[in-house]
Amino acid sequence: MQPFNFHLPKHELLLRFATAAKILSWICLAYYLLLLFITVMPAIYPIDEFGMKPDKPVITIKEIFPPLKHLLSGIVTWVVLRSIALGLAMIVETDWNYRLRREENDHAG
């Protein structure tokens, strides 16, 4: 295979988007994990308005589920961006393959 013969600027652009999506997926995951940490911390180590730690911290159901939502959002975003990166790479690969086949057919004909 000689893929670089078929490497057009549009392929380059798509592959750049794919790389960007891959990098962004990790950044987004890190962001949501940070958000999760920020949301979970007050529930685990509650501090009242005087900066004192209450004797019996009460964690309600309402405090448990929003962090879960952040975690899920992070995973979903990671999966979506990762899929976009893979999808773009597959589109470029498909185009390469068709161009290669056409080239081979032209030579054979």
Partner 1 sequence: MPGDLRAHIYQNMDMRSTGELVQIWQENDRSIWSDTAFEVINAILAQRLEEVPPQGEPIYQHEEQPQKRALFDDIKLSPFTDPENAPELYNPREVLWLQKQIDRLAVIYVGVTVLVNLSRTGDTFAITANYLINNQYRDVIAILITVVISLLLSTLQCAIGYFAIRALGSILKILMEMEFNSRAKENPE
The rounded distance, in Å, linking the Cα atoms of 72 and 61 is 17
Token code pair at residue 101:
């086949």
The rounded distance, in Å, linking the Cα atoms of 59 and 20 is 39
Least distance CB 55 / partner 1 (angstroms): 25
Least distance CB 43 / partner 1 (angstroms): 13
- The footprint of partner 1 (CB under 8 A) covers 1, 3, 15, 61-62, 64-66, 68-69, 72, 75-76, 79-80, 82-83, 86-87, 89-94, 96-98, 100-101, 104
Please name the residue ranges forming H helices in the chain. Answer: 9-44, 61-108
CB closer to partner 1 out of 27 and 76: 76
